[in-house]
Amino acid sequence: MKNRFGDRFAILCGVDTLALESALLGADGLVCAFPTETVAINNLVNAGRIQEAIEIYHWFLPLLELDISTKLVQNLKYVC
């Protein structure tokens, strides 16, 4: 979309397990089920500190995967 429309549209990521990839590809905003970690990843990507972003992402990816399950509500209650 950025190639076709430039900055005409804001591109947002709405899937927790795609936050890192979306940040790397220039998304304008990310989902934030885990705001602290997601902001840290986004800031690291923007600073060019990709390896550090990957380490955080790998650390909490198992939690993010709970959010894309068919048992979303039950998993969110469990995590809380």
DSSP codes joined into one string, 17-39: GGHHHHHHTT-SB---SSHHHHH
**Structural domain boundaries, residue 67:** 2-79
- Which pLDDT score is estimated for 5? 92
45 to each of 55, 71, 77, how far by Cα in Å?
12, 31, 30
Q: What is the reported pTM?
A: 0.77
Q: How many domains does the chain have?
A: 1
| Per-residue confidence band for 76, with pLDDT thresholds at 50, 70 and 90 | confident
- Which residue from 22, 16, 19, 12 is spatially nearest to 75, judged by alpha carbons? 16
pLDDT digits (tens, 9 = 90+) for 13-67: 888 888 899 999 989 988 777 888 889 999 999 999 999 999 999 998 988 887 7
